[in-house]
């Protein structure tokens, strides 16, 4: 699996909030934290389109629904929460 960095934000501490895209069918993004030297500290969250299995044929995505995996424990890399987010209609342009 190939991971491509798509954006980074430098925080006031010098650490970086990094957004990477996985080259996979799930179209997921990884949000992680790096120190000011570019060394990975921890994943914060993975966001992907919600999907459903279709027997032996693989899976299909579910429109307008996302799954968020949160990694909130500073002691290990275990996922601490999983929840679903429904897409809402755009309220206004930014």
- Can you give the pTM of this predicted structure? 0.79
- The fraction of the chain above a pLDDT of 70, given in percent, is 91
Radius of gyration over alpha carbons of the chain, in Å? 15
Nearest C-alpha neighbor of 18 from the set 51, 37, 44: 44
pLDDT of residue 3: 81
Q: What CA–CA distance (Å, rounded) separates 36 from 73?
A: 21
pLDDT reading at 94 higher than 80: no
Degrees (nearest 5) of the Cα angle 86, 82, 38?
A: 105
pLDDT in tens, 29-48: 999 999 999 999 999 999 99
């Amino acid at each position: 699996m190939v991971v491509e960095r798509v954006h980074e934000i430098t925080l006031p501490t010098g650490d970086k909030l990094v957004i990477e895209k996985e080259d996979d069918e799930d179209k997921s993004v990884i949000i992680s934290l790096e120190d000011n030297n570019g060394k990975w500290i921890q994943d914060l969250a993975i966001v992907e389109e919600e999907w459903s299995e279709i027997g032996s044929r693989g899976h299909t995505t579910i429109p307008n629904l996302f799954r968020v995996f949160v990694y909130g424990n500073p002691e290990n890399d275990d996922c601490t929460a999983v929840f679903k987010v429904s897409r809402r209609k755009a309220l206004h342009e930014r």
